[in-house]
A and B are shown apart, each in its own frame.
Chain A
Amino acid sequence: MKAGSNLEKVLSAGHFAVTGELGPPQGNNAEEVRHKAGFLKGIVESVNITDNQTAVVRMASWAACKILIDEGLEPNYQMVCRDRNRLALMADILGATALGIKNVLCLSGDHQRFGSHPESKNVYDLDSVQLLAAFKKMRDEKKFLNDKDLDGSPDLFLGAASNPFADPFEFRVSRLAKKIAAGADFVQTQCIYNMDKFRLFMKQAVDRGLHEKCYILAGVTPMKSVGMAKYMAKFVPGMDVPESVVKRLQGVDKKQQAAEGIKMAIEQIEEFKEMEGVAGVHVMAIEWEHRAKEIIEGAGLLPRPVVD
């Protein structure tokens, strides 16, 4: 065990894991975090808390993680390299682990140009691969990046993200391999809509034995409407939404589109359960936390296993 988190225990026991996601509010409304957390309690192993997602300022991820812990849930602390240099990243992970946070997801972060403060100065002192390596060093060698000893060490289950749909495709598995080599214990993928491409990606990953070195969780985001599908296809960087997905949603009455989106997500999960190398799913019900249960239950993944 690297950190003995619930997520790590469930994965290492060989169960098909489920993680959720929660975006903190654009303010300090702790009640909103508690409210959203309520929908996810008991239906996922752990919950990703986004870190200024899409470069929009929100309540600090570590703080929302702490609220989650107090509510009896386990967080995955997302950390982006965009907003902090190595001093701040290392300081924050020490603080976070002192508060009981055990899972961390290391990300480069969306460029600030999209977000709420496009004029800001970005950091990118480390990239996501270097961040993984830094935290692995802190955990395994009990040393800072400067090789000085830590007073105590953070027990961490290290996560990374992987986007099988960004370009160039021929390097996506290599990039995953780099993240694993740098220290990733688990990986969550970008939302998957193009199943053919994902199958190809997984085959390449499995051929290289990457699934034996790291737990790969497939990303699932239910479509709420045709509008959302079209928006994601057109405007969200690195997102691959095939025409067939848009057409299927167009084929049902507007009032039924959300239900159809959920149905599609469930079908996907059924397929992931059988796919070699996929250790679980990461359900990102963006601002739709209250409907996560329908998807997870519908896919036959409840109740969640209890592992001591």
Chain B
Amino acid sequence: MIVGDSKPLEEILSMIEGREKVLVLGCRGCVTVCNVGGEKEVGILASALRIARKKAGLPPTVEEMTLERQCDPEYVEELADVADKYDAIVSIACGVGPQFVAERFQKVPVFPGINTTFIGGALEHGVWAERCQSCGNCLVHNFGGLCPIARCSKSLMNGPCGGSASGNCEISPEVPCVWDQIVQKMSAMGRLEELEQVWPNKNWLTARDGGPRKRVREDLKQ
């Protein structure tokens, strides 16, 4: 899923300064799962904004709404009758949400209430870790099911580098060295010699380096 972090309240308050009627807009997709942008968080953020604005003598009108998803036009359309009533929409979906809302409704300014961080998963409750860089050409099966592109700090395909120590990455003892894990896993599977293959330079065209990506599925188009 897409993992996000709430922006500091002060940053959101400063973004909406001077806007009278504000809508906090949540999303029931990924950000609900990682507890930063769902219905519950909409309530918490809206309350916090009301209290802070009231304290500062500013108009406290902050309303709440949560869409099924903000990355689908059919759900964004649910705002059609109400969008114009607001002087600001604070979207707490991933970075796609504010853009879809802003593209659909030309007049109302849309502000991001969260920072979109990475594609990852939950290691335990409240702990998420990056697992994918959406490079568009998955090769994890060659590396014991672990991704050196997303999880090695240097994206080394022929690693481990010379900075790996005690199973940790050179950038921090808090960051596991994925190449250490790849070697252990392949070794345990009796496949260590496969890692001696020299991986050629990667084709990054399928990644963000090839420009913004678009996928057309003719079979799904109407």
Please state if A168 and B184 are interface contacts (CB–CB under 8 Å): yes
B161 & A125 in contact (Cβ 8 Å cutoff): no
With beta carbons under 8 angstroms apart, the residue of B156, B160, B183, B201 that contacts A134 is B201
Q: Which of A86, A113, A127, A134 contacts B158 (CB 8 A)?
A: A127
Known contacts: A127-B154, A129-B198, A130-B199. The answer to whether A168 contacts B204 by CB under 8 A is no
B157 touching A127 by the CB < 8 A rule?
yes
Q: Does B170 contact A (CB under 8 A)?
A: yes
Chain A 107-130 interface 0/1 with B at a Cβ cutoff of 8 Å (1 = within): 011110110000000101111111
Smallest CB–CB gap between A43 and chain B, Å? Answer: 26
Q: Give chain B nearest CB distance to A181 CB in angstroms.
A: 5
- Which A residues contact B (CB, under 8 angstroms)? 81-82, 86, 108-111, 113-114, 122, 124-130, 133-134, 145, 161-163, 166-168, 170-171, 174-175, 177-178, 181-182, 190, 237-238
Query: Binary interface profile of B, 164-200, with partner A (CB < 8 Å = 1, else 0)?
Result: 1111001110000101100110010000100110111
The answer to whether B162 and A166 have CB atoms under 8 Å apart is yes
Contacting pair B154 A238 (CB below 8 A): no
Given A108-B154, A170-B183, A237-B170: A127 and B159 interface contact (C-beta under 8 Å): yes
List which B20-73 residues lie within 8 A (CB) of chain A: none
In chain B, positions 132-175 with a C-beta closer than 8 Å to chain A are 153-167, 170-172
A171 to chain B: which residues have CB within 8 Å? 160, 179, 183, 192, 195
A/B interface sample: 13 pairs, CB < 8 A? A127-B158, A129-B157, A130-B201, A166-B164, A167-B166, A167-B180, A168-B160, A168-B183, A175-B159, A178-B196, A237-B162, A237-B165, A237-B170
The 8 Å CB contact of A166, one of B158, B163, B200, is B163
Report how many residues on chain B are interfacial, defined by Cβ distance under 8 Å.
33
Q: A166-B165, A167-B164, A238-B170 are in contact. Are A130 and B187 (CB under 8 A)?
A: no
Q: Report whether A86 and B201 are in contact in the complex, using a CB–CB cutoff of 8 Å.
A: yes
**Closest chain A CB from B153 CB (angstroms):** 5
Note all chain A residues with C-beta closer than 8 A to B171. Answer: 111, 113-114
Q: Which residues of B contact A125 (CB under 8 A)?
A: 201-202, 204
Contact of A111 among B163, B183, B198, B199 (CB under 8 A): B163
In the complex, what's the smallest C-beta–C-beta distance from A20 to chain B, in angstroms?
20
Q: How far is the CA of A160 from the CA of B88 in the complex (A)?
A: 56
Residues of A within 8 A of B177 (CB): 167
Contact (Cβ within 8 A) B154 A126: no
Q: How many A-B residue pairs have CB under 8 A?
A: 108
| Cβ B154 vs Cβ A111 within 8 A | yes
Point out the residues of chain B lying under 8 angstroms from A182, CB to CB: 158, 198
Please report the C-alpha to C-alpha distance between residue A114 and residue B175 in the assembled complex, in whole angstroms: 14
Q: Which residues of B contact A167 (CB under 8 A)?
A: 160, 164-167, 177, 180
Known: A114-B171, A167-B177, A168-B184. A108 touches B161 (CB 8 A): yes
- Point out the residues of chain B lying under 8 angstroms from A163, CB to CB: 162-163
User: In the complex, which residues of chain B have a beta carbon less than 8 angstroms from the beta carbon of A82?
Assistant: 154
A162 to B199, CA, bound (A): 18
Which residues in chain B, 198-221, are within 8 Å of chain A measured between CB atoms? 198-202, 204
Q: A130-B157, A170-B187 are in contact. Are A110 and B163 (CB under 8 A)?
A: yes
13 other A-B residue contacts (CB within 8 Å) besides A130-B199, A168-B167, A237-B165: A81-B154, A86-B201, A108-B156, A108-B161, A114-B170, A125-B204, A166-B160, A166-B163, A167-B164, A167-B167, A170-B192, A175-B160, A178-B198
Chain A nearest Cβ from B13, distance in angstroms: 26
**Cβ of A130: which chain B residues have Cβ within 8 Å of it?**
157-158, 199-201
Which residues from chain A contact B179 at a C-beta distance below 8 Å?
171
List, in ascending order, chain B residues with CB within 8 A of A237's CB. 162-165, 170
Judge whether A127 and B156 touch: CB under 8 Å: yes
Q: How far is the CB of A32 from chain B (nearest CB, A)?
A: 27
A161 & B201 in contact (Cβ 8 Å cutoff):
no
Contacts of B180 in A (CB 8 A): 167-168
B155 touching A124 by the CB < 8 A rule? yes
Could you say which residues of chain B place their CB within 8 Å of the CB of A145?
Answer: 201
B157 — which chain A residues lie within 8 A by C-beta?
Answer: 127, 129-130
Chain B residues with Cβ under 8 A from A133's Cβ? 198, 200-201
Using known A-B contacts A167-B177, A167-B180, determine if residue A111 contacts B153 with beta carbons closer than 8 Å: yes
